Structure 1
Amino acid sequence: MHKVGLVSRDPETFTPLRPTAAPVCVTALEKSPSTPSTSDFPPPCQEPRGSTADAKEQDHATPGDWDSPTPCTEWSVRDLVNHLVNEQLWVPDLLAGKTVADVGDKFDGDLLEDDPLRAWTESSQAARAAWLRPGSLVTIVHLSFGDTDGAEYCWQMTTDLAVHGWDLATAVGADAGLGDELATAVLDHVAPQVAAWQGTSWFADPVPVPDDAAPQARLVALLGRAP
């Protein structure tokens, strides 16, 4: 299994997800002139199921789990959580209009220090606050491959959290429990893109599952994980 970082800032390896439902995000915010509530966002951009799930799964981890392997073969549990924290820390700056060059290397290295759960909680809460500001889904975000809107960035971040939430839960023996609504929304968004990702370092090849498999199983299998 390979690491996945859909919002990678390496222009040599990144091909952006193309939005299939971003207009839903945009329409919702255009109808909401005040600060948006979570109900203004489509399912993948509402209450951050990945955020709360990741916190529970980290809390489920024992001290010995931090060095344990994950479905992302190059990452331990600690490496995976560090990646998740890194991605969350970028959100406020990117939604504020900063470029990759502006941010530089300030989020490189070990971000967890001696309290991984605190690092995750603080970074994810800051990211959530940035998403809930007016205009977050229609703002222009400057990523390494070029400019995109906040709605597409939201899809990328949601996919990253959903898949890595499953990775983390699997690594520590917990139930990811993504829920059918979130898993289906992400599955429908990424399915048209998967063929273009084959041969990259992002995912292993899709894993066959029964036609009647649950949405969570179909999502992780499509992205190269054995549910």
Structure 2
Amino acid sequence: MTGPPAPGDALELLERSLAYTTVSLGLVRPALLARPTPCAGWDLRALLRHMDDSLLALIEATGTGRVRLGLGSEAAGGASDPVRTLRERACLLLGRVAAATGPDVVAVGDRQLAARAVAVTGALEIAVHGWDVARACGADRPLPPSFALRLLEVSALLVDDADRPVRFAPPVLVPDGDGPGPRLLAFLGRDPVAA
């Protein structure tokens, strides 16, 4: 099996990530869908579509043991209530991961990953996009420090130079004294202090 190690706290990280992001999704209003996000060139509507694609891929992984690359969905971003759609998918994903009845190994393209590694990857992406959503909605919702620290630890295993600039922008410099939340966001190419 190739890929990053599978942390034993994958379910907890996914659960915390979904809880954090669900609160951010509560800030979304139709009038805000055209607002820019911290992801260059993306508006909130595009971010919600991307989040939907990501959740669908994670749901597929937990059900079939594989993720088909290059397949997209516009369901949540184009839905009359994209937030409700994302919340429903999040509940389905969490239920599947918690039940632990899915495959132990997931095929992602030509790589084989432990299902827990896929769940941690999803937790990282979901949490950071939850921050993106809040920022696009004009809210400052810092990631809880202990949670951000754990995600920062696993992000070093999950994100490398090959992921830039395709999945993540180059890292942003932050002062040495910044906490784990700003350091995580900066590592993933976001300016943690930009409005």
Aligned with residue 182 of structure 1, among 147, 150, 153: 147
Question: Which residue pairs with 2:19 in the alignment?
Answer: 52
Q: 1:17 offset after TM fit, Å?
A: 5.8
Query: Aligned equivalents of 1:18 and 1:100: distance in 2?
Result: 16
Which is higher, the Rg of structure 1 or of structure 2? 1
Structure 1 SS opposite 2:8 = helix
Whether the 8 Å CA contact 1:43–1:185 is kept in 2: the answer is no
The one-letter code matched in structure 1 to 2:30 is P
Runs of 4+ in 1 over 6 A off after TM superposition: none
Query: Aligned equivalents of 2:55 and 2:108: distance in 1?
Result: 14
Q: Once the two structures are superposed, what CA deviation does each residue of 1:72-116 show, in whole Å capped at 9, x if it has no partner? A: 123210111121122212333312234345x995x5233341011
Q: 1:152 offset after TM fit, Å?
A: 0.9
Aligned with residue 129 of structure 2, among 160, 164, 169: 164
Question: Which residue pairs with 1:124 in the alignment?
Answer: 90
Aligned with residue 165 of structure 2, among 193, 196, 200: 200
What does residue range 102-141 of structure 1 map to in structure 2 within 5 Å?
105=71, 108-112=73-77, 113-136=79-102, 139-141=104-106
The one-letter code matched in structure 2 to 1:44 is L
Whether the 8 Å CA contact 2:52–2:73 is kept in 1: the answer is no
Count how many residue pairs are aligned between Structure 1 and Structure 2: 190
Q: Give the TM-score of the pair, scaled to structure 2.
A: 0.83
Q: Once the two structures are superposed, what CA deviation does each residue of 1:8-44 show, in whole Å capped at 9, x if it has no partner? A: xxxxxxxx8622xx2535xxxxxxxxxxxxxxx5642
Q: Give the TM-score of the pair, scaled to structure 1.
A: 0.73
Structure 1 alignment gaps of length 5 or more: 1-15, 26-40
Identity of aligned residues (%): 27
Structure 2 SS opposite 1:60 = coil
Structure 2 alignment gaps of length 5 or more: none
Aligned with residue 183 of structure 2, among 208, 214, 218: 218
Query: Aligned equivalents of 1:199 and 1:85: distance in 2?
Result: 22
> Alpha carbons of 1:153 and 1:100: their partners in 2 closer, same or farther (altered >3 Å)?
closer
> Alpha carbons of 1:179 and 1:143: their partners in 2 closer, same or farther (altered >3 Å)?
same
Structure 1 SS opposite 2:64 = coil
Aligned with residue 4 of structure 2, among 18, 40, 50: 18
Alpha-carbon RMSD across the aligned residues, in angstroms, is: 2.6
